[in-house]
């Protein structure tokens, strides 16, 4: 029995397979036909490769695509793929190429991906000019020009996709240059709604926390179904990047590390989880990290659930993590380059007279502010662990939220009655003695229910206030006039119950999470005009 009778190929014959089958000595053809088959095999054209802008090679090629014939006029939805009105039948490879072209037309790639692809092509061209020597290519003029673009170091096609995203998708253009925003004026703000940040995948419950990456155009959202989702924010498509499920932890708080390398997740449990963005690992805090049984927050009277709901990273390097504990204790945890889960330890504690309600940092991480249930704010020197100042909130009733601006010039204290007291540097120097009441620069009284979220933007021109008790409770405050914008939000703005708010690094995006599971995305025009490296919509 011949070999051809033992094996068969379940694809239509092509020029390449026919030529291989009819080679001399295969026994599958007659001797008289061998010469003609040899000539056909010699002149048979090679399969046409699919023309694509993808830099990676396909893992598998289907030879049946070469013989497919698709009619573009047979179905109405395929007519948009024609180059001319009279065109009808195309090959399988051409059909795939046009489908890819139509997809990229509807969903254009973000600018950071276009820049990365362009740089890879330049490097490959430089390597080809030097005979494939990468060392010479790095010293060439082409490589120097690409390095001036600030796209980082190393070959992009040798890195992992996640590493590419968080090391190169920099807000504000190339090389992480500082975004130049506009100057806001009081009275009216120019803001427009774009597509929801989580339009591709919404959680089955309310949005618990959201946060923008400190360097990349990435937003995370956590929902009550114990899931963390990462989205690429461009205002047009906002694709889903990744979903993480943590069944052992009901997430109540989350935040990016200031370096952008990880996300810290906490909840109503006496431990926390650190999700490493580069490796994809989820690390749990060591057992016994917070000694003396003071690791969990106070319950009932302070609204805590006995877990680690309240925490703040120190600004800058983020080498210290402040964790609110029980009975007024605040733990200072060493957070090195590898994170606390790889051997961190508690540096020390500070203790208040009452239960801890909120935490904040100022003076580049040298001072820690803690808010107690008695509406007193303690100012701690982190180096000496001593209280250097203590003042009482203006009005002194029901304080439950604390926030400071990045430049340290502004401090906001929110209460359970909806009043937000805004303090500046002048009011700080006016406090004569510790424990005295500090006079607020302005008391914002536009909300009538308890403040749940406050957030300053990157240059301290805006302060967002929100309450999740009633519907549509969100206001934007202009600084330094401390006036509330009246033109937004309006009665038609679909905010619902706002659970969390955050600004992007350049404040061109404002994200709002609500109890419906949506992350509404708004573009602040004054800051968006100064950004670079974004695809125009």
Q: Please give the mean pLDDT across all residues of the chain.
A: 80
Residues with Cβ within 8 Å of 489's Cβ and at least 6 positions away in sequence, in order, are 472, 474, 475, 495
Quick check: is 92 in a domain? no
Residues with Cβ within 8 Å of 119's Cβ and at least 6 positions away in sequence, in order, are 146, 149, 151, 156
Quick check: is 119 in a domain? no
Quick check: is 516 in a domain? yes
pLDDT band at 102 (very low <50, low <70, confident <90, very high): confident
- Written in H, E and C, the secondary structure of 264-284 is EEEECCCCCEEEECCCCCEEE
Quick check: is 515 in a domain? yes
Statement: residue 54 has pLDDT above 60: no
Query: 13 exposed, middle or buried (CB, 10 Å; 0-12, 13-18, 19+)?
Result: exposed
Strand ranges (E), 425-496: 436-437, 442-444, 453-456, 462-466, 474-478, 483-484
pLDDT at 457 (0 to 100): 96
The Cα–Cα gap between 258 and 214 comes to: 6
- Please give the structure tokens belonging to residue 63: 């030879």
Tokens 């598998």 -> residue: 60
pLDDT at 313 (0 to 100): 95
List, for residues 324-335, the tens digit of each pLDDT value: 988 889 999 988
- Please give the structure tokens belonging to residue 470: 């009633």
The Cα–Cα gap between 484 and 141 comes to: 53
- Tell me which DSSP letter residue 141 carries: H
Tokens 């877990």 -> residue: 307
pLDDT band at 243 (very low <50, low <70, confident <90, very high): very high
- The percent of residues in the chain predicted with pLDDT above 70, rounded, is 72
Quick check: is 453 in a domain? yes
> Which tops the pLDDT comparison, 244 or 429?
244
pLDDT at 357 (0 to 100): 93
Residues with Cβ within 8 Å of 439's Cβ and at least 6 positions away in sequence, in order, are 394, 427, 430
- Please give the structure tokens belonging to residue 459: 């240059």
Quick check: is 18 in a domain? yes
The Cα–Cα gap between 269 and 307 comes to: 4
136-150, 204-218, 434-448: least confident range: 136-150
Considering its fold, how many domains does the chain have in total? 2
pLDDT at 74 (0 to 100): 83
The Cα–Cα gap between 333 and 348 comes to: 7
Q: Which domain holds residue 9?
A: 1-47
Quick check: is 333 in a domain? yes
List, for residues 206-215, the tens digit of each pLDDT value: 999 999 999 9
- Tell me which DSSP letter residue 161 carries: H
Statement: residue 317 has pLDDT above 50: yes
Statement: residue 366 has pLDDT above 70: yes
pLDDT band at 303 (very low <50, low <70, confident <90, very high): low
pLDDT at 27 (0 to 100): 45
Most confidently predicted of 70-74, 160-164, 399-403 = 399-403
CATH number reported for the structural domain that contains residue 224 in this entry: 2.130.10.10
- Domain termination residue (choose one: 11, 26, 47): 47
- Please give the structure tokens belonging to residue 212: 């923008």
Statement: residue 205 has pLDDT above 50: yes
- Please give the structure tokens belonging to residue 343: 């051997």
HSE-CB at 191 with a 13 A cutoff on CA atoms is 24
Nearest CA among 91, 86, 84 for reference residue 70: 91
- Domain termination residue (choose one: 47, 63, 80): 47
Statement: residue 535 has pLDDT above 50: no
Residues with Cβ within 8 Å of 348's Cβ and at least 6 positions away in sequence, in order, are 332, 385
pLDDT band at 150 (very low <50, low <70, confident <90, very high): very low
Angle formed by the axes of helices 161-168 and 111-129, nearest 10° = 110
Quick check: is 334 in a domain? yes
Nearest CA among 315, 117, 284 for reference residue 214: 315
The Cα–Cα gap between 120 and 56 comes to: 11
pLDDT band at 10 (very low <50, low <70, confident <90, very high): low
pTM of the model: 0.67
pLDDT at 7 (0 to 100): 62
CA distances from 377 to 371, 387, 392, 393 (A): 5, 10, 6, 7
DSSP H or E stretch at residue 520: strand 519-524
Statement: residue 488 has pLDDT above 70: yes
Rounded to an integer, the average pLDDT of 29-36 is 46
pLDDT at 8 (0 to 100): 57
pLDDT band at 30 (very low <50, low <70, confident <90, very high): very low
pLDDT at 9 (0 to 100): 57
């Amino acid at each position: 029995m011949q070999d051809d009778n033992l094996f068969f190929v379940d694809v239509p014959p092509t020029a390449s397979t026919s030529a291989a089958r009819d080679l001399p000595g295969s026994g599958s053809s007659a001797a008289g036909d061998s010469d003609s088959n040899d000539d056909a095999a010699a002149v048979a054209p090679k399969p046409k490769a699919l023309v694509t802008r993808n830099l990676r090679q396909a893992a598998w090629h289907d030879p049946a695509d070469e013989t497919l014939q698709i009619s573009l006029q047979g179905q109405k939805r395929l007519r948009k793929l024609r180059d001319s009105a009279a065109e009808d039948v195309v090959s399988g490879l051409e059909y795939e190429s046009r489908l890819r072209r139509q997809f990229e037309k509807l969903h254009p790639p973000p600018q950071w991906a276009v820049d990365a692809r362009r740089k890879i092509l330049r490097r490959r061209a430089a390597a080809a000019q030097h005979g494939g020597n990468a060392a010479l290519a790095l010293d060439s003029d082409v490589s120097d020009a690409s390095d001036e673009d600030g796209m980082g170091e190393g070959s992009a096609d040798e890195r992992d996709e996640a590493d590419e995203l968080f090391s190169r998708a920099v807000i504000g253009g190339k090389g992480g240059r500082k975004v130049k925003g506009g100057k806001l004026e009081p009275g009216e703000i120019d803001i427009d709604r774009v597509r929801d940040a989580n339009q591709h995948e919404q959680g089955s419950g309310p949005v618990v926390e959201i946060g923008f990456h400190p360097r990349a155009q990435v937003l995370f959202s956590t929902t009550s179904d114990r899931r963390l989702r990462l989205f690429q924010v461009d205002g047009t498509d906002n694709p889903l990047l990744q979903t993480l499920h943590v069944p052992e932890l009901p997430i109540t708080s989350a935040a990016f590390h200031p370096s952008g390398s990880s996300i810290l997740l906490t909840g109503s449990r006496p431990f926390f989880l650190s999700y490493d963005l580069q490796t994809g690992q989820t690390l749990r805090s060591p057992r016994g990290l917070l000694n003396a049984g003071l690791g969990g927050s106070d319950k009932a009277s302070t609204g805590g659930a006995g877990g680690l709901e309240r925490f703040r990273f120190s600004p800058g390097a983020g080498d210290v993590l402040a964790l609110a504990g029980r009975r007024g204790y605040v733990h200072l945890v060493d957070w090195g380059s590898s994170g606390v889960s790889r051997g961190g330890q508690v540096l020390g504690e500070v203790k208040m007279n009452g239960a801890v309600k909120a935490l904040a940092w100022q003076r580049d991480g040298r001072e820690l502010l803690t808010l107690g249930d008695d509406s007193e704010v303690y100012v701690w020197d982190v180096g000496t662990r001593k209280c250097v100042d203590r003042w009482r909130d203006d009005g002194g009733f029901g304080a439950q939220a604390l926030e400071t601006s990045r430049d340290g010039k502004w401090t906001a204290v929110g209460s359970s009655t909806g009043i937000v007291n805004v303090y500046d540097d002048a009011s700080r120097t006016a406090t004569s003695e510790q424990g005295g009441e500090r006079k607020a620069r302005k008391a914002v009284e536009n909300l009538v229910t308890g403040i749940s979220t406050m957030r300053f933007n990157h240059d301290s021109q805006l302060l967002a206030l929100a309450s999740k008790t009633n519907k549509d409770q969100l206001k934007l405050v202009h600084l330094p006039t401390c006036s509330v914008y009246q033109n937004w939000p309006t009665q038609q703005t679909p905010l619902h119950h706002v659970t969390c708010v955050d600004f992007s690094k350049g404040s061109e995006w404002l994200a709002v999470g609500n109890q419906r599971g949506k992350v509404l995305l708004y573009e602040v025009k004054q800051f968006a005009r100064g950004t670079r490296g974004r695809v125009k919509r």
